[in-house]
Structure 1
Amino acid sequence: MLWSLVVLGGACVCLVGSAGRTATLPRPQLDGSRGQVRARPRREGSGASKLSHGPVFTSCRLPLTPAEHKVLDDNTHETGFNGDDGSYVILTWVGDGTGVVLVLSTISVPINTYLDGGSSRLYRSTNYGKSFLDISHRINNTFIKEEFGVSVGPGSSVILTADTPVVDHPGGIILTSTDAGATFKFIQLPFHLAQPITYHFLNPDYLVALSIDEGLWLSTDFGAKWTKVHDGVHSFSWGAGVNLFFSCTRVDTVEADERGDLVLKRTKDLGDTFTTIHEDIFSFGYIGAFLFFSVMEDPRSPRVMYFSSDQGDTFSRALLPSASTEQFYSILDGDVDMLFMHVDNPGDTFFGTMYTSDDRGILFSKSLERHLFEGHRKSDFTNITSLRGVYLTNKLDEDGRIRSVISFNRGGTWRQLNKPENVDCSEQTKKCNLHIHGEHSRNNQIVPMLALSEPMAIGLVIAHGTVGDSLSSSQHPDVFVSSDGGYNWRGTLRGPHHYSILDSGGLIVAVEAQRKGQVKTIKFSTDEGQCWKSYNFTEQPFFFAGLASEPGTKAMNVSVWGFRPEDDGQPMWVAVTIDFQSVITRECNNLDYEEWLAHSAGGGASERSACVLGVKETYRRLKKQSVCRNGKSFVVSKKQNPCLCTRHDYLCDYGYYRHPNTSECLRQPDAANKTLEMCLTGEEDELLTTGYRKVPSNKCEGGFTPHLAVQTFIRPCGVKPSPRPPAVSVPPGPVFDTPREKLVLILVCAGAGVIVLVAVACALIAVKRVVYRTRTPVYRFSTLQLQEDGNCITPDLESAASSNGTVCHHDSDDDLIQ
């Protein structure tokens, strides 16, 4: 009997988009995940097509010594779970450094047309998965919902959701634990859950839930008591602090999910009062410090995007192309400083344009054209978290080929990846570069894992790729490693693998992906993939389900999960945990580390070569040749030195564009007329500008400084307040809200005896009508070249990685985000 695995897992945040293409692609059959692994054995479908091998490369292989083999044997532990435990397994880690792993095994049995039944078993390990106890009696053998499973929150909090028939019970049942699953408390809910409960990202006592009758429920005591805060809710999301945003239907609307006719509201006092932020919204999301929502201002018009950087107190329309019903927006990534956004091209083109925002999420700059975004609503966009400012993605060129590009300055510029140092292309290949497989490839079952990087493993990137003129689906994907954040690469493992980073980058482990075969060997490297050793961790091979290690990369234990089919057809689930601390026994000392200047591998010997976003960073990291362990106490240390500013450290303000040869920001001849078309409320504010605005997060000092040699007036639209603006704190110094205060403001600054430079700064912020609540006026600017086309987190505002740690959302303009 042939089996394959569908393994789900990992955390993500996906955000807003639109209706459009609905290409159906097969789900990935193999995948590994850090933190949580979900697995279900399934019968094998069609066989994989034959693939050719790419350019030949060699990598170092070292034999395992008899002593190392014995030590690993003594510290490898195999646990089997009863064959009748079920066909669906969830593994999840609980807490940070607790060593606690929970395994939930369930089997569903249809009772009738409308109702499923079944059984669940819960196992718990307190020693990083080396051994497990059956603790099903602690939950009274309650049948746990397969789709909700185990939900882990901050600290050591855990929630299990029981499966209760809606017709027989007034509400559902949850089991809560505050001690990492040692004990559980049964709680009867006054409602039935429509989706998993959402934790507040800092306080585990604050829970939000959506009921099947579209009620929004809130608990402030970890589920002991619940209060309904609103009806007709479509989706919700935590914001900063205790701000809670949600979209709901109008009072006079019958259809509960009439898209484009929803109301966006906020409560900042846990449901006591509400503020309406905007009406006629299609979808919304929250990421980093930004609230954003798409609005249908007219049923016949395309959707437009609005952004707020102050929790919805004020917001403004983003200077972006609008999106029709056949297009979508997608927030790819974001933090407190900026956003990456994809705007789809019309039609089934499978590409669009990527933009980056300013620090208010309003001014957007074109970053990359023909950005790949395939029909299954998936993007290959990847944040390389092991080095600041590095992003990787794929583009669909005009010749129909997919090529990988990388940015080392947060999307400011993109370039192709260098050819790996140990790989040579054939003479027929015109351009020889490395191309990385992304979500598009995993969705088509070409690779089992995406590119992997970790903030604790400085500069380390592991990814599947092919070498040649473009990304190839006809070649076997191989594993490549970069030690400098993506500047230089090396072929390290032939064929697809599952891999994981341990010990803050001091150890890499990998298991070869066998689509039909069974696994028994794990490979490991202590020098960032330059050399590998192999260890047979079991005598009885099994079908692979995933690699599991404690989140945070500090652990040196890894669990290989899978199953062995039994004679009766039921899978016997197996977990093999290997403790590599037994073979890497020496603690690292100061001599094992080196000072490493980030971004210094980019080429060129100038002082500027290592400057990224106005600063040079020097890290203390482990030498490749050091065979030792960083340990649990390891922390990343770095030194920062500011660089001199250049024009490239600045964006061009609204109404300006960058000259392709001189990099100077020049006034657009027709900007005035196009600006007036952007106005939303009829309020026009004059602004004196130099044409430059510093890039978000840029820390450069001195050097190039914009001056007032060319003074121009432009008229961007004012910021639109929410219907009930809250009280604001005013910074020290004079504040003017009347329309004729420009000269008065300058006189106040100069009359106070301030030196000339400060007087110039005062002139820079002089405006016809000042509307600021922080130290600078808040206006909408744009670096888009308006003389060009004016149509300004899988397709949607859907795929983004949250910086606030909120729960995973898969959503779009088709299915609104939380």
Structure 2
Amino acid sequence: MIWRLVVLSGLCVLLLGAEGSSRGGRTVTFHRTQQDESQGQARARPRRDISGSSGTPRPSHGPPFTSCKTPLTPAEHTVLDDNTHETGFNGDDGSHVILTWVGDGTGVVLVLSTFSAPIDSFFEGGSSRLYRSTDYGKSFHDISHRINNTFIREEFGVSVGPGSSVILTADIPVVEHRGGVIFTSTDAGATFKFIQLPFHLAQPITYHFLNPDYLVALSIEGSLWLSLDFGAKWTKVHDGVHSFSWGAGNNMFFSCSQVDTVEADERGDLVLKRTKDLGKTFTTIHEDIYSFGYIGAFLFFSVMEDPRSPRVMYFSSDQGNTFSRALLPSASTEQFYSILDGDEDMLFMHVDNPGDTFFGTMYTSDDRGILFSKSLERHLFDGQRKSDFTNITSLRGVYLTNKLDEDGRIRSVISFNRGGTWRQLNKPKNVDCGEQVTKCNLHIHGEHSRNNRIVPMLALSEPTAIGLVIAHGTVGDSLSSSQHPDVFVSSDGGYNWRGTLRGPHHYSILDSGALIVAVEAQREGQVKTIKFSTDEGQCWKSYNFTDQPFFFAGLASEPGTKAMNVSVWGFRPEEDGQPMWVTVTIDFQSLITRECNANDYEEWLAHSTDESDTERDGCVLGVKETYRRLKKQSVCRNGRGFVVSKRQSPCLCTREDYLCDYGYYRHVNTSDCVRQSSSANKTLELCLNGEEDELLTAGYRKVPSDRCEGGFSPQLAVQTVIRPCGVKTSPGPPARSSSPVTHFDTPRERLVLILVCAGAGVIVLVAIVSSVFAVKRVVYRNRTPVYRFSNLQIQDDDNGITADLESATSSNGAACQQDSDDELIE
């Protein structure tokens, strides 16, 4: 009875490893008992209700969204029955199961089940079993003997790398052994090699991005270790390390203490170092580091320049050779910085507001990570340091997030131009809000809702399923927690939506979007039915995959959406009181047998909103993209060989493809960029790498990554001399007393924000009263400046804005995982 109560109140935990599908593997963890989601969040702010509505969630009402009533035929049911495979695992296997896909298209699945029990006050003991499948989860074989039946850790026991590499970490008591134990495999688990480590692991082993033989590990004593032969031999790199990250090539970055120990109170007094030759030599990049990260092409770190001062952000786009302070507000210890997303072109950064406001300001960076533009105000970031920010990967330039408005309600907004402008989502065509609702829009549940157990899954999109987005949401004036969410689908990247399933569901995209599967979320019941759709959720069919329902734990499918197999995981109570893990794998390829041909596809213009404007319709960042994608009515399979096909054509340039350059703004009554009156006859006070040089500008700069051609072209007309300022280069740690950043001691010497235009909006630049601020930028002598990507237009602000350092906000960045204090800039 006790076990049953735990299950009914339990929550399945689904984790996608940071190495994930980009490295050919995916790790999913299932827990049979409820896990404390607050673990690892000791510094998180307390929760408060910011849902904008209250009351007990009520069930969704109304008839099913779809009117399609086409149940499975007896023949279809027979085919699925013949290709549905159920596997049970012994009841004493424990309450923790890790499922790992290995490689791409190998069909190999490893399942590790563990049972932990405390032996004494110092460590835990237990048992574990390892199972392997070579047919996409249809059948499993116990291979525990290949690892000598060793107890594998629950916390980070399985790590999948590039290719077919796997590392298992044994749970060895520290008091009995001089080092830990790992098992390595290079053949997807067919064989394993036993390796005794000279240290005990403090966190998962990290693979190199490109070379799976290069491994980095951090010991519980704070020592950084490196292996160049896939774990066979290890060499100590450095002591007193707090965190580390691979950079480009063989660059490795790490923060460390000056006294070779790592204590929590030393954050803010760490040193950021780099090694370019795999630990042979080191370069000090900066001192007084609080935390750092690496994402895309950017190295970023927050600095405590004075123990009494807030943190400030620095960025480097050349592996730390040079760096500059970002034009962002500083952050106190109660605030944090958060990198929401990034690539080689730009970064999205959240700047937390002071106090327990649960919101902040989102900024987008230029291509050097120095100049930041305000993108969205009142961006939601809840008390558990969780953001609803989502990159819609099925269409270029689309991002989705939630904001906390002044009335205390959460509302969803979407951007189709990489944060340039944001707007609310359109109301689904097949849903009405009612006569009393004045503003009717779709609002999407994000990480905040998932943490509060309102939804079981976040929004889902895949790069191979062009335009397809699946998400939980509610329709009305704001996001509602007083009714269970429904499932909504968009086929055009978020422009238009339709309701598809009533109530919360678990869902997955298969066969590059040609197939969607879903299982209804049951908090107190057991499942036996899976729903599937071949037309992007317009119609659904249901299939009972088992005669013995079980408690649902999660859906698992091969990463990359190429496969047509899906496994439903769960557990059943047995007569002896012990639960049994069970997985049911369904092969839909047996049902959808026809390969798609040319007639099954159509040409689709992305971002098309105005067919009457044939010249500009679909233009985003200066280019049109026409995709070849599957028709909704086509019932066929894309297959593993499917490749996304698109045709690009440049658009004619307009003023919308240009931003006003430094020191310029777009006049209210014209579309021209005009020199700031305060600096009309003065040298533009910007610093380029500490050297005096000339910057030629016409007052405009093209949005980098904008590929428009012809049309509007500003004429080079103004020559500006750039004056020198403090040099910020590496190597060599800058001393506190000689920091290149100007400090301000009086209120009169605070930072003042001046407004410079950005398209139809404005960019917030930071200038300094009676001083020169550093902005590192490439010098263009004989041509108009061309950038890869920089600041997009933002929402209009009212005239000038001032920022006081004592009340300014800041932002935090994620290098590996979105909620790690050590791997995010706080």
CA contact (8 A) 1:565 1:571 kept: yes
Deviation string for 1:302-354 (max 9, x for gaps)? 11111111111111111111112222111000011111011111111111111
CA contact (8 A) 1:5 1:39 kept: no
Report what 1:469 is aligned to.
Answer: 477
Report what 1:209 is aligned to.
Answer: 217
2:574 equivalent to 1:566: yes
Over 3 Å counting, the alpha-carbon distance change for 1:651 and 1:66 in structure 2 is same
Deviation string for 1:746-785 (max 9, x for gaps)? xxxxxxxxxxxxxxxxxxxxx9998799998999998999
Report what 1:11 is aligned to.
Answer: 17
Deviation at residue 38 of structure 1 after TM alignment:
0.8
Report what 1:83 is aligned to.
Answer: 91
Report what 2:125 is aligned to.
Answer: 117
Over 3 Å counting, the alpha-carbon distance change for 1:107 and 1:38 in structure 2 is same
AA aligned opposite 1:596? W
* In structure 2, C-alpha distance between the alignment counterparts of 1:530 and 1:769, rounded to whole Å: 50
2:404 equivalent to 1:396: yes
CA contact (8 A) 1:13 1:809 kept: no
From 31, 40, 64, the equivalent of 1:40 is: 31
* In structure 1, C-alpha distance between the alignment counterparts of 2:482 and 2:254, rounded to whole Å: 45
Deviation at residue 82 of structure 1 after TM alignment:
0.3
2:234 equivalent to 1:226: yes
CA contact (8 A) 1:210 1:217 kept: yes
Q: Report SS of the residue matched to 1:285.
A: strand
Q: Report SS of the residue matched to 1:137.
A: helix
From 539, 545, 550, the equivalent of 2:547 is: 539
Report what 1:198 is aligned to.
Answer: 206
Report what 2:490 is aligned to.
Answer: 482
CA contact (8 A) 1:717 1:779 kept: no
Report what 2:801 is aligned to.
Answer: 788
AA aligned opposite 2:144? S
Deviation string for 1:719-744 (max 9, x for gaps)? 6221269xxxxxxxxxxxxxxxxxxx
* In structure 2, C-alpha distance between the alignment counterparts of 1:134 and 1:265, rounded to whole Å: 45
Report what 2:601 is aligned to.
Answer: 593
Report what 1:51 is aligned to.
Answer: 58
Q: Report SS of the residue matched to 2:266.
A: coil
* In structure 1, C-alpha distance between the alignment counterparts of 2:398 and 2:248, rounded to whole Å: 26
CA contact (8 A) 1:234 1:816 kept: no
Report what 1:309 is aligned to.
Answer: 317
2:272 equivalent to 1:259: no
* In structure 1, C-alpha distance between the alignment counterparts of 2:681 and 2:97, rounded to whole Å: 61
* In structure 1, C-alpha distance between the alignment counterparts of 2:63 and 2:724, rounded to whole Å: 57
Report what 1:241 is aligned to.
Answer: 249
Report what 1:759 is aligned to.
Answer: none
CA contact (8 A) 2:553 2:569 kept: yes
Report what 1:751 is aligned to.
Answer: none
From 453, 459, 465, the equivalent of 2:461 is: 453
* In structure 1, C-alpha distance between the alignment counterparts of 2:776 and 2:570, rounded to whole Å: 68
* In structure 1, C-alpha distance between the alignment counterparts of 2:35 and 2:215, rounded to whole Å: 40
* In structure 2, C-alpha distance between the alignment counterparts of 1:588 and 1:655, rounded to whole Å: 55
* In structure 1, C-alpha distance between the alignment counterparts of 2:309 and 2:492, rounded to whole Å: 47
From 45, 64, 71, the equivalent of 1:63 is: 71
AA aligned opposite 1:812? D
From 600, 616, 619, the equivalent of 1:608 is: 616
AA aligned opposite 1:376? Q
From 387, 402, 425, the equivalent of 1:417 is: 425
CA contact (8 A) 2:685 2:723 kept: no
Mean CA deviation greater in 769-778 or 608-617: 769-778
Deviation string for 1:378-401 (max 9, x for gaps)? 000000000000000111111111
Report what 2:52 is aligned to.
Answer: none
Counterpart mapping for 1:129-528 below 5 A: 129-251=137-259, 255=263, 258-528=266-536
Mean CA deviation greater in 326-335 or 652-661: 652-661
Counterpart mapping for 1:649-664 below 5 A: 649-659=657-667, 662-664=670-672
Q: Report SS of the residue matched to 2:381.
A: strand
CA contact (8 A) 2:19 2:26 kept: no
2:584 equivalent to 1:576: yes
Counterpart mapping for 1:695-734 below 5 A: 695-709=703-717, 720-723=728-731
From 796, 817, 821, the equivalent of 1:812 is: 821
* In structure 1, C-alpha distance between the alignment counterparts of 2:210 and 2:776, rounded to whole Å: 42
CA contact (8 A) 2:696 2:718 kept: no
Deviation string for 1:98-143 (max 9, x for gaps)? 0000000000111101111000000000000000001111111000
* In structure 2, C-alpha distance between the alignment counterparts of 1:169 and 1:423, rounded to whole Å: 63
Mean CA deviation greater in 128-137 or 667-676: 667-676
Deviation at residue 648 of structure 1 after TM alignment:
1.9
* In structure 1, C-alpha distance between the alignment counterparts of 2:668 and 2:510, rounded to whole Å: 45
Deviation at residue 809 of structure 1 after TM alignment:
6.6
AA aligned opposite 1:534? S
Over 3 Å counting, the alpha-carbon distance change for 1:498 and 1:671 in structure 2 is farther
2:632 equivalent to 1:624: yes
* Unmatched segments (≥5 aa) in structure 2: 37-54, 734-774
Deviation string for 1:638-665 (max 9, x for gaps)? 1110111122222333333344564543
AA aligned opposite 1:692? Y
AA aligned opposite 2:56? S
Mean CA deviation greater in 474-483 or 2-11: 2-11
Deviation at residue 706 of structure 1 after TM alignment:
2.3
Q: Report SS of the residue matched to 2:558.
A: coil
CA contact (8 A) 2:340 2:813 kept: yes
AA aligned opposite 2:65? T
- Greater relative contact order (Cα < 8 A, sep 6+): 1
TM-score when normalising by structure 1? 0.86
Q: Report SS of the residue matched to 1:68.
A: helix
TM-score when normalising by structure 2? 0.85
Deviation string for 1:137-168 (max 9, x for gaps)? 11110000110121000000000000111111
AA aligned opposite 1:6? C
Matched residues, number: 748
Mean CA deviation greater in 247-256 or 380-389: 247-256
Deviation at residue 630 of structure 1 after TM alignment:
0.3
Over 3 Å counting, the alpha-carbon distance change for 1:782 and 1:579 in structure 2 is closer
Mean CA deviation greater in 501-510 or 663-672: 663-672
CA contact (8 A) 2:165 2:212 kept: yes
* In structure 2, C-alpha distance between the alignment counterparts of 1:377 and 1:673, rounded to whole Å: 46
* In structure 2, C-alpha distance between the alignment counterparts of 1:216 and 1:413, rounded to whole Å: 43
Over 3 Å counting, the alpha-carbon distance change for 1:549 and 1:479 in structure 2 is same
Over 3 Å counting, the alpha-carbon distance change for 1:397 and 1:592 in structure 2 is same
* In structure 2, C-alpha distance between the alignment counterparts of 1:285 and 1:63, rounded to whole Å: 51
